Amino acid sequence: MSTNLSRRAFLGSAAVGAAGLAFARPGGAAAAPAKGLRPDLAEDCRNEFLATYHSYLTYAGNHDELHPVSRTGSDFFASGHPVRLTLIESLGTLYLMEADDEFHDGIDFVVNDLSFDIDANFQVFETIIRLEGGLLSAYHASRNPGVLAKARDLADRVLPAFTQSPTGMPWRFVNLHSGAVSGSSNVLAEIGTCVTEFGDLSRLTGDPKYVNAAKAAQQAVFQRRSALDLVGTQIDITTGAWLNSTSTINPPVDSFFEYLWEGFFFLGDRDDLAMFRTLINSFLQRQSITVNKRLWFSSNNKDTGLPTSSNQSELAAFAAGMLGQSGLKQGAEYHDSWADALHEGGYRILPEGLDPATLGATSRGNQLRPEYVDSAFTLWLTNGHRVYVDRAAEYYENQRATCRVADANGNTIGYTILTDVTTRPETQGDLTSAYWCAENMKYYYLIFGRSPRFSYAPDAYLTTEGAVLRGLL
């Protein structure tokens, strides 16, 4: 059932891909809903998010992430070298929720206290998607030039990972103080998930060196595709030799595909569109499997095309949004498969790993993952179908029932990862993953409510980490 939101789907301007698959081009703005679709849940979501954020400020000190059960904090990138990751990942959500005191305090921290002159090795991929993306989104929200200066300073510290690579594919780690690089064995998601953050920074600064580095990394992988137009999983960035030949949309490849599509969706880059078409066409033709009438994706050898595994990672659920946004019917079908897995598998929260034949858990935890609601949000923004609002509402209520940590009076301390989704009650761990602040709660709030600070246009762009780089008002 579709809503009467009067959104114009992208599909009206669909182009046809090389193998007959339909791809869509970004459309113009569409009318926003007159009011929130679930204002009750929007208000609850805002309250739960702010309670957790305040717990982070209260209990985690200067650390990166909150442990809501033990009421402590820890560092994400390098122990003893915090950057207040949760604060940075929360800024866009605070802005959209009109939590202005917290938002402005956060901007003050970024401009006046945050320093990236840190003598420690930071993981390049996580630094870009979490910190660079978070700062760029915060800049679009605040228009504070001090925030953009911090984003540029960080990118300049990360750039040696690209410029010191003989192939253009980045080293896995970089020392933010010295620029020393390390980690020659890298995986596709970590090589190819930066073109939109660096593209945005190049636009904002007028310096093309950032986007050029990101594109060179994508192209270096594409040039090493197999004769079947498939790519592997892991590569030596110094020699360009494949270290793992598994073609998959599971991690650690997932967002490599996403950023080929989004390089076109956000930046209009037709090289990225061409690479996306080539690789996704081959992937869909060779690795789509139907199990009990549901669409899933196998992992295959990139050279022989032969299947090696049918295990599904929950993180691959992001692909439903990517495929739907690019005009491919498999997007909606794939989200239906995950919804079926939730219901018929007997879960309230999806497991990290899933056997598509039995719907049994192959990995029983859930790290507060956002992918199921991420793709519900993207599909809803693209086509306006009510089913995605309902799926998001169900999952929100399930996360509230299973992941919430309360004090003795029943007040929310925070939300935690689960170590086992198959027990009743589900088994809680003790970590509020910082991406939960940037992703889950933002998607929920935007679906349920009617933020006057978001365009609700189908060309709004949120990065793989939920940073809004287009669509903030």
Place of tokens 């790290």: 367
* Binding residue for ligand DMJ, selected from 38, 67, 369, 391, defined by CB under 6 A: 369
Smallest gap, in angstroms, from Cβ of residue 294 to ligand DMJ? 22
Q: Are 193 and 254 in contact (CB under 8 A)?
A: no
Query: Length of the chain, please?
Result: 473
Residues within window 110-149 making contact with ligand DMJ, judged by CB under 6 A: 129
Q: For the purposes of burial, counting CB atoms within 10 Å of the CB of 28, is it exposed (0-12), middle (13-18) or buried (19 or more)?
A: exposed
Nearest to 153 by CA among 54, 83, 231: 83
Among 173, 435, 444, 448, binds ligand DMJ (CB under 6 A): 435
The residue (of 5 and 253) whose beta carbon lies closer to ligand DMJ is: 253
Beta bridge partners of 301: 246
The residues in 171-230 that bind ligand DMJ, with binding defined as CB under 6 A, are none
Q: Which is nearer to ligand DMJ, 286 or 433 (CB)?
A: 433
378-396 burial by CB neighbour count: b if 16+ within 10 A, else e?
Answer: bbbbbbbbebbbbbbbbbb
Task: Tell me the closest approach of the beta carbon of residue 435 to ligand DMJ, in angstroms.
Answer: 4
Q: Taking the complex as a whole, how short is the minimal distance between the CB of residue 17 and ligand DMJ, in angstroms?
A: 24
Asked if residue 55 binds ligand DMJ (CB under 6 A), the reply is no
Residue 115 to residue 320: CA distance in whole angstroms: 37
User: Residue 449: helix, strand or coil by DSSP?
Assistant: coil
CB of 367 to ligand DMJ, least distance (A): 6
Q: 290 has which bridge partners?
A: 295
Asked if residue 321 binds ligand DMJ (CB under 6 A), the reply is: no
Binding status of residue 232 toward ligand DMJ by CB under 6 A: no
For the chain, helix, strand, coil in percent to 5 are 45, 15, 40
Which residue of the chain is nearest ligand DMJ when measured via CB?
A: 464
> Of residues 45, 315, 332, 418, which one binds ligand DMJ by CB under 6 A?
315
Closest by Cα among 465, 402, 418, 430 to 55: 430
Site for ligand DMJ contains 255 (CB under 6 A): yes
Least CB distance to ligand DMJ at residue 332 (A): 20
Q: Is 464 a residue that touches ligand DMJ (CB under 6 A)?
A: yes
Is residue 465 part of the contact set for ligand DMJ (CB under 6 A)? yes
Contact between 370 and ligand DMJ by CB under 6 A: the answer reads: yes
The footprint of ligand DMJ (CB under 6 A) covers 129, 255, 315, 369-370, 435, 464-465
